Amino acid sequence: MQIRSETSVDIARVHALNVDAFNQSAEADLVDMLRASDDAIISLVAEDDGDIVGHVMFSKLVTPPRCLALAPVAVAPDHQKEGIGTALIKRGLTMAKASRWRAVFVLGDPAYYTRFGFRVEDAAKFETPYPKEYMMARELMPGALKAMDGALTYAAPFSAFD
Ligand X SMILES: CC(C)(COP(=O)(O)OP(=O)(O)OC[C@H]1O[C@@H](n2cnc3c(N)ncnc32)[C@H](O)[C@@H]1OP(=O)(O)O)[C@@H](O)C(=O)NCCC(=O)NCCS
Q: Which residues bind ligand X (CB under 6 A)?
A: 21-22, 71-75, 80-86, 108-109, 111-112
Smallest gap from residue 151 Cβ to ligand X (A): 22
* CB closer to ligand X, 105 vs 148: 105
Cα 55 versus chain centre, distance: 9
Smallest gap from residue 117 Cβ to ligand X (A): 15
What DSSP line would sit under 55-85, residue for residue?
EEEEEE-SBSTTEEEEEEEEE-GGGTTSSHH
* CB closer to ligand X, 109 vs 127: 109
Smallest gap from residue 137 Cβ to ligand X (A): 16
* CB closer to ligand X, 117 vs 144: 117
Map residue 155 onto helix, strand or coil: coil
Smallest gap from residue 143 Cβ to ligand X (A): 28
- In angstroms, the Cα distances linking 130 to 54, 75, 106 are 25, 24, 11
* CB closer to ligand X, 15 vs 148: 15
CA distance 32 to 9: 13
* CB closer to ligand X, 9 vs 111: 111
- Which residue number is nearest to ligand X in terms of Cβ? 85
Residues in the chain: 162
Cα 131 versus chain centre, distance: 17
Smallest gap from residue 142 Cβ to ligand X (A): 26
